[in-house]
Amino acid sequence: MQPLFVELSVLCVATATGMTAFWVLCGMRAPAAAAGRPAGPGLFALFRPAFPLVSGLARRLLERAPRGRDWMAARLDAAGYGHCVRPDDYLSLSLLLMLALAVIGLPFRLPVQAGLMVLGLVFPVIWSAGAIQERHAAIRRSMPYVVDLLALCTLAGLEFGSAIDRVLEKIEPGPLGDELKLARRDMALGRSLSGALQAMAKRIRLSEMTSFVAILCQGLDLGAGVAPVLSAQAEKMRLERMEKAERSGAEAQQKILLPLLLLMVPAFACLVFIPLLVSQARSYLAGFGGL
């Protein structure tokens, strides 16, 4: 019984350590590397000196599984780290974490060792899912304002590329601004407007952005101007944002029912019934004393 308790305690400590590292990884940005390429998120920068130990194995595995390489590259692009973290680094981090946790679990039973190894192997997947979700939320918040500005600029007579430049001067730095800068760079290098927007939507992998780019490209292919399409999309996004706010308010009313039942109803019952019970007890004791 005691060894099992120790093993479960170690597993809990390892899980807590992994969650702490996850928090550090999501919030920490490493400085630029000496070679000029950004080092990437904190945990990647921490383990980067050890990547050569497993980089050969990671490279061979990815060569045998090109779909896995494409999947990792797409997740890194969606998380905003495709410029500084390669799929080889992604898999190398998984292998290093798996080996490190396997060494920690050597004194314990096989199920604990297997659990720790799986935790190390899937940790980068968990991190990338959190980073993608956070980035998508930031892009959703910025899209209505950015599309409104683009519509105003194009209605004022600016060409779409110049409108993007003007919008980038007005908005605060963020994921959507970074993606617009990349799209503007692609356009400056000779890619068409539709191609640059489609590449941006493919990097972001957000349904709202994909729908917006598809409608904009369709309008351009049919010969419609950019300004009317952007105006219609801006109006649509304003309505969708208002509907989402109303839907969130309705959901909040439903979500508050559980805390109400668990906390307020018992407190209200105590306020009502405890004085009643006290008065009944006093009456009973008084009658018993009279006998």
Length of the chain: 291
Q: State the average pLDDT over residues 222-231.
A: 75
Can you read off the two tokens belonging to residue 285?
């004791």
Q: State the average pLDDT over residues 76-92.
A: 84
CA 9, chain centre distance (Å)? 30
- Between these two residues, 283 and 186, which has the higher pLDDT value? 186
**Structural domain contains residue 285:** no
Average pLDDT in the chain: 77
Q: State the average pLDDT over residues 109-124.
A: 79
Question: Are 11 and 105 contained in the same domain?
Answer: yes
Per DSSP, 33 falls in state P
Q: How confident is the model at residue 233 (pLDDT cuts 50, 70, 90)?
A: confident
**Structural domain contains residue 273:** no
Boundary-marking domain end, from 133, 152, 176: 133
Query: What is the C-alpha separation between 198 and 163, in angstroms, rounded?
Result: 18
Predicted pLDDT of residue 189 = 87
With a CB cutoff of 8 Å and minimum separation 6, the contacts of 167 are 146, 149, 150, 153, 180
Residue-range definition of the domain harbouring residue 216: 136-247
Q: State the average pLDDT over residues 251-267.
A: 77
CA 128, chain centre distance (Å)? 7
Asked which of 156-160, 170-174, 175-179, 181-185 is least confident by mean pLDDT, the reply is: 156-160
**Structural domain contains residue 30:** no
Predicted pLDDT of residue 31 = 38
Cβ atoms of residues 138 and 175 within 8 Å? yes
Q: How confident is the model at residue 1 (pLDDT cuts 50, 70, 90)?
A: very low
CA dihedral 219, 222, 227, 233 (to 10 degrees): -20
**Structural domain contains residue 185:** yes
Q: How confident is the model at residue 39 (pLDDT cuts 50, 70, 90)?
A: very low
With a CB cutoff of 8 Å and minimum separation 6, the contacts of 214 are 201
**The pLDDT of residue 249 is above 80:** no
**Structural domain contains residue 272:** no
Question: Are 9 and 105 contained in the same domain?
Answer: yes
